[in-house]
Structure 1
Amino acid sequence: MTEPLKSPAPSRIQRRNRARILEAALDVFAQHGYRGATLDQIAESAGLSKPNILYYFAGKEEIHVTLLHQLMDNWLEPLRQLDPDGSPLEELLTYVRRKLEMSQAFPRESRLFANEILQGAPRIAPLLEAELKPLFDGAAALIDRWAGAGAIAQVDGRHLIFSIWATTQHYADFEAQIAKLMGPDAPREGAAEFLNGLYTRALAPDQS
């Protein structure tokens, strides 16, 4: 029986051009959202022709979905790293710090994800169900066990995770507003210290 022919591995130039397109698209989608972005804008930002873009991707949607899949894989890693055997308060404070660091290091990716969710998650809904929900449910259950054992304050794990997402990713999703209100460097200087203190006080177990 003849084995099916394998597709040749992409060349160095093809890999470089594909990465170039995705990097340019990330800028365009983060600035304009999915609906406002066009292939012409992506091509201009990448310094490639529109036909060249379509050689690597079927269209705007495929580029967008590719970026979302890459984002989700990296974005969920801090939640995966919650250690059930670690110190509960330290594990959660470390999670807050990692999420803040990611929002500050990858603001475009955060805005890409936020824009997709605001539109009802039409392109990422299957990924949310398959990857995020089981991880979210597991992390929330772990937090609930820690709270039930008195290792942290009595909190609802689900709402705590939502709160951490809101307070950390705000620094990426509303970066322009924060810069206008506080100056371009101020948020980075004080955010980590503030959030560490906030969640330390909120999660410290009842000593009474």
Structure 2
Amino acid sequence: MHHRTGIILLVSGPSGSGKTTLCRRLADEGEAVYSTSCTTRPAREGEVDGHDYHFLSREDFEKRIAADQFIEHAEVHGNLYGTLKSEVIDHVTAGTDVVMDIDVQGADLVRACPEANIRNALVELFVMPPSEEELRARLTGRGTDAADVIELRMTNAIEEMSHWPKYTYRLISRTREEDYSRFKALLEAERLRISRLTPEA
């Protein structure tokens, strides 16, 4: 008998691409564990500690950096963000798949991680909107942001989309159901890789 090691399904894409919806649904259906990131930014209204983020003080975050507890971490707009090894490695070793919703900067750091069990488990997907026009419609349709905020999000999204060639897979978004069907099919195919099997002790 053989034991399958878990997959780290790393998902990136611009705001409005639908990546977070895909990741959350996969976790909600029990197909994977959602890797909850840490941050030093204050919680926004409605956010729950341990679900949306692990909200840490800067002092606690920096202690964890010194103790080598992160797979990746970075400072963005004056706040620290990072992924704890404990959120990922134990699950992967036990054969549980982990989904990570992460930006392109974080993805670069995960790729550079020296630990072989993380590199071997990694499957990278970039989610793209079908067009800039559709992305703008999605961002505008949320009805939560002012025009200048939408323009900033568009500028950031276009820059972020230039990074898709670094990824193993690319999914061009269609409808929510089509996207999820293809997203789940990718995970199911990766589960069949012989390289993920190790003999039972």
TM-score (normalised: structure 1): 0.29
More strand by share: 2
Pick 1 or 2: higher relative contact order, CA cutoff 8 A, min separation 6.
2
More helix by share: 1
